[in-house]
Structure 1
Amino acid sequence: MFMGEYQHSIDDKGRIIIPVKFRDLLGTSFVVTRGLDQCLFAYPKEEWAVMEQKLKSLSLMKSDARAFTRFFFSGATECEWDKQGRVNLPGNLREYAKLEKDCIVLGVSNRMEIWSKNMWNEYFQQSEQTFNDIAEKLVDLNFDL
């Protein structure tokens, strides 16, 4: 399981070092794509296959399903580590997530997320204010913390 929060930076060539324990979970080859909330999602190949199957099951007759599938797959790229444990993030993905220098790498259950530090801080502050409300809604869905 991916969990934890780490601060890293991207170099001038678009490379970022990922925490060792996340590298072990991602394997030698993994998939990075546009995530929700303007961050990047990174999946081990096995988890990517699960996501692929779920998205394939959506109806092509629904415009929302087509739009989301395009969004998710068009940004996807297969990545590998270099000898220093860095991964090179493509320019289009760095631009989407506004990744310039300081980044936050998060573990979120079955995936890793990469955020711009500024975007993460903004998101976290907004979410922190509504965290109790969100927890109450989850309880209403029979999810007990």
Structure 2
Amino acid sequence: MFMGEYRHTVDEKGRMIIPAKFREELGASFVVTRGLDRCLFVYPYDEWKQLESKLKSLPFTKKDARAFTRFFFSGATECDLDKQGRVNISSPLREYAHLEKDCVVIGVSNRVEIWSKTIWEEYFAESEDSFGEIAENLVDFDIDL
């Protein structure tokens, strides 16, 4: 399970250090793709294969299903860590997530998310005030916090 929040930077070549606590669980090869809310999603390869299987089962006759799978898979890139524990994030993915220098890497259960520091701080500030309301809405999913 991935959890925690870490501050890192992206260098001029698009390389970013993956937190040491995440490296082993991500494995030798993992997938980085466009996420929701202008962040990047990072999946260990086995999680990616499970997600791919679920998305393949969506009905291709539904416009939203086609749009989401195009968005999600067209940005996906298989990545490896270098000897310093860095991942090279492609230019299109950096542009999508507005990753220029300072970024935040968070663990979210089965995936890692990479955020621009500015976008993360804005998102967190907006969500922080409604955290209680969001938690109340999760009652419908049988989650007791």
Give the gaps of 5 or more residues in structure 1: none
Partner of 1:18: 18
Normalised by the size of structure 1, how large is the TM-score? 0.98
Cα distance, 1:133 vs structure 2: 0.5
Cα distance, 1:129 vs structure 2: 1.0
Which deviations, in whole Å up to 9, do the C-alpha atoms of 1:8-32 show, x marking residues without a partner? 0000100000111101110011000
- Classify the secondary structure of the residue corresponding to 2:129: helix
- Classify the secondary structure of the residue corresponding to 2:5: strand
Give the gaps of 5 or more residues in structure 2: none
Q: Distance in 1 between matches of 2:61 and 2:52?
A: 18
Task: Please list, as runs of the form range in 1=range in 2, the aligned pairs for 1:1-145 lying within 5 A after superposition.
Answer: 1-145=1-145
Taking only aligned residues, the RMSD between alpha carbons, in angstroms, comes to 0.6
Q: Distance in 2 between matches of 1:97 and 1:111?
A: 16
Cα distance, 1:81 vs structure 2: 0.8
Which deviations, in whole Å up to 9, do the C-alpha atoms of 1:37-65 show, x marking residues without a partner? 00000000000001100100000000000
Cα distance, 1:142 vs structure 2: 2.3
Identical aligned residues as a percent? 70
